[in-house]
Structure 1
Amino acid sequence: PLRAVLASALRLGEEQVQVVVPDVGGAFGLKMHGHPEEPLVCVLSRITGRPVRWTERRSDCLLVGGREQHHEVTVGFDGDGRVRALRDDLVANVGALGAAPGWGMAYLTALAFPTGYDVQVVDARFRIVATNKSPWNASRGYGKEATNLMMERVMDLVARELGLDPAEVRHRNLIADDAFPYKTTAGLNIDSGQYHLALDRVRALVDEPGVRRGQREQSADATVRTGLGLAFELTPEAGGTPGTLVGGFDTSTVRVAPSGQVTVLTGVTSPGGGNDTGIAQIVADRLGVAPAAITVVQGDTDRCPYGFGNFSGRSMVVGGSAAALAA
């Protein structure tokens, strides 16, 4: 994608641009393509006929990793605590518009509803507002943590309204074991899980009846009060955006030399977390060779097939799967 952006900005064919990316470390989206200094460096290099390097200080990259979202939530539920419908209207203040894809976190907040709960009717709407604050950067959990916060708040409010145990309300709303694979109203596919069993085990491990009994026995003037909180988290990963290429497609080429050495050319890149090792292990397992016989090549647009790079953990889920099929 960066090659395509640079070719367009420089008015060149994509075959005239080569992008080589070494391991640059984790970024949670910060190092994705689209920064204005990338084509600027290329233009200056062409004007001067010399290599040009962009170096910036920390103060030159003024980004915030925080959040500012305002949610208006309406919930429909029955007397048993089953949530039947949910509407969320959120406004995200993303600060000044910048190249980093922080604004996309608001979209993922809406997309991730209703997390691990079986809510059949969901209407999630989001609006992105630019202001004079620092621009949002992309950071974990890339807006999806806000969805979990909202759904857990909803479960607590329903329990309070009906006078029910918050754990029991969650138990009645979690996706059932026999409902998998489960497709959410937003189009996300949840492949498996035993959510009720997880909840039952947690309640047993913390001795919920004993904790509740201790809460009732506490004196009104106790200096230390015992609280009991419960929350589930379910976040889509691997670039899982329904109906998009990045959510389900990438490319790998596997070549075997007469010597038995194997080369894997992959369209995904490494954030420095070792996905090249993981891809090598997958291919080694498929071919029945030692991982030491495998070389993984990443991040060179002249050598590697077209791919969408690494973000949201997709390099192993999608890139690793493509390598397995190629092998």
Structure 2
Amino acid sequence: MSRERSKGIVGIFILVTVLFFVFLIFAFYTVSQLKQTTSMGEGLMDSKSAPIAVIPIENEIMESKKVVEMLFAAEEDKEIKAIILRIDSPGGAVAPTQEIYEEVRRIDKKKPIYASFGTVAASGGYYIGAATRKIWANAGTLTGSIGVIMQMADLSELFAWAKYKQETIKAGRYKDIGNPGRPMTEEERAFLTTLLAGTHKQFMDDISAVRKDRLKKDITELAQGQIFHGYEAKELGLVDEVGSLWQAGRAIHKEMKLEGKFALRYMKPARKKFSLSEFLQDTEDTLSFIKNKVETKTTPAYLFKP
């Protein structure tokens, strides 16, 4: 092999390696931006010294860490006198929603927490809002959808048509509930229905713990998965006021008799210092995130969402 050809191969290898790392960096940055919670109003009336903090809760709620970290930061900051949760979410997974709810309830005993609903505050999004002492919703905010859902697919006929044969080995008769290769049994359906009914009761109990005296109808009547617009939600006692984030902020500023000009402080997740090990881990998480988005999930989805 000639020297020129060897140099060419090495050059191509270096170029491919560089392009690969550029792609990884780009993918990591892009997905981080997609996953990072941001506020629609960020930069507008945003002051680092404002006594009212705004914590955004947006998109599907699949983890609690970032929101809880922002709650902790607002709790510990002595200059912050009140917190507004800016919720624009259709709901999400059960456990992280409940974790955020519990932290809101705890912190609210020491520092008042309010909620402002954006385009949608449904299911888990409403669940978190119900933990606060007062809720503002816009007139057109899609509100409510109080319920729990679990979805899976029976692909057995498709598998038979495609002559695809699935083999399952399990220990425990419920271990493969949701297996797309076979229909669900009546025993399994009853088991999952009981499971969801228990979680649904937790949802209703947690809402009632804060809003029982404000609800105009029995919680079981309001918790059948219905979605209401802001005015309906107010009439039913699911929210307290119809108004925007800034109307809520001004009302809180006046009610608490806070000093200085009204402004809001938008909280952001803490930024970590760069380290190679964390970068590699984040890269792996990014690739997994992309993979999960394009794959069809066959496990039961256990969610607070419409």
Higher relative contact order (CA 8 A, sep 6+): 2
Give your verdict on TM over 0.5. Answer: no
Higher share in helix: 2
Q: TM-score range by the shorter chain?
A: under 0.3
> What TM-score do the two structures reach when normalised by structure 2?
0.23
